[in-house]
Structure 1
Amino acid sequence: MKNKNKYIIIFTMLFQAIIISILNGIIWNSNTLNIIEENIFFNYILTVIIVITTTLIFISLKKFSYYEKKEAEFKLIKANMKNTEELINLLHSQRLEYLTHIQSIGALVYLEEYEELSKYLKGISKNYRFNGGIISAGHPALTALINAKREIAREKNIFFYTRIKQKLNCMNIPSWDLCILFSNLIENAIEAASMTEGKKWMKVVIDYYNNNFVFEIENTGQMENNIMKNLFKQGNTSKASSGRGYGLYISKKILDKYDGSIDIKNTDIGTVLCTVTLPREVGNYNEEVS
């Protein structure tokens, strides 16, 4: 249905362009200009047609932009679902890994193969990737998101630090909007950190001040000034990935919806710091982010 609507809009715009081209051809025809000047009714009809086609083009462009944003939102939601699924699979595989190690250790102890047991334990400590346990943010959806993004960061050799000073169990912003908001910001931080030289790291801090939740997302790397100026404009992106140009634009719209704020700046230590503030209590916002 989404693709069908896009094709209808494109066809409408092409049809309107053809009509305007035909009218331009008629107007610039020297023989017809005299007729147009003498025919008031024709002038009126021509004006109406131009106004209508211009209006239709404007509406079509708005619709086209709307469907593009919806497609970007769909891709972000799909990515969040994939991250959650990856986290579940990771936990399941780790559980099986733990059981396998416990069974192997138990068998070696039972057989009194202590030398082999020592080698086995050294092998585990050398090769096993310690995951540091599950990070709990006090909000189920955001907890799943942060842990999934942490695993993605680690796959890219990025150190992922977290500091949860305040749990989010009292926040009443819908999970849908909260995950879209922070998925965009954390993904941007991961991608920016992955492109830096030397030690790559990022940090997520959740705190609480003056009845506001404060989120800090910091990563290695610096942002160019021309990108900083247009950061929240619709379609702006420094990356080629599809739908990403709407990521920060949508995040800003969500923050505006809940009376929140965002500040992104370069720091003196060679990092980019993103600070998001959201009120603890928000009203019942049912309007759609557009």
Structure 2
Amino acid sequence: MTPLLTSPVSDTDAGLDVTQDDVLTIAGRRFQSRLMTGTGKYPNLEIMQQSVAVSGCEIVTVAVRRVQTKAPGHEGLAEALDWSKIWMLPNTAGCQTAEDAIRVARLGREMAKLLGQEDNNFIKLEVIPDSKYLLPDPIGTLEAAEQLVKEGFAVLPYINADPLLAKRLEEVGCATVMPLGSPIGSGQGIRNSANIQIIIEEAKVPVVVDAGIGTPSEAAQAMEMGADAVLINSAIALAHHPVAMAQAMGMATVAGRLAYLSGRMPVKAYASASSPLTGLVHS
């Protein structure tokens, strides 16, 4: 496997200095990788382990409720990854109300402590009462976020691409906002780009595009828009070759971030020759 791009990039003439100091910071914790991955839907634990490793990710989300109940595919999950190297992001998947999400978040914090991450207060907040489209409940999410912030959690809320809700969650103290690109597990790509762009422009906390990304080009698109990170699970786990796709997603995230920092060329209405027209040889 070809390793991900990790070496510093410097272009002093262009005023660009992109090095490993360009880190993702969430609630005061620094991460080199801007790709977050999940642990569900993989054919088996071994493929999940390999996929996480080659992706280069440092944050892995874990469904608290499914680990607790040893749901199919989640047996032994707590022991499957090296939690001294991977930061656990417990999530409240399966919760339909704010009250349920708050309770599961507390269990998630205890789970992280049991696995050696004593200072881990991160929680990916999901409140999803709709079983058909799996769209998050904005009111329940806000209610749960307010309470969890009061309890000292670093809340990473999963939301519709609603700029006003994103701003309100930031104001109550959330560590990030996580707008969906399209419905969970749909692979439809980024269908809400205009609203996500507004969220990115207005947010003073990291913006993580979560859900709907199906291909590396879509991961790169999110990063080129200025997203701080992407969270990808189904597109990796359900690929014909998950390990290879995990590496591709990691590389796309790096490429998209570098492209964003580089600054794209202006869009022009007409063609512009790549070669200069001076000094031509005339017959």
Larger gyration radius, structure 1 or structure 2:
1
TM-score normalised over the length of structure 2: 0.25
TM-score normalised over the length of structure 1: 0.24
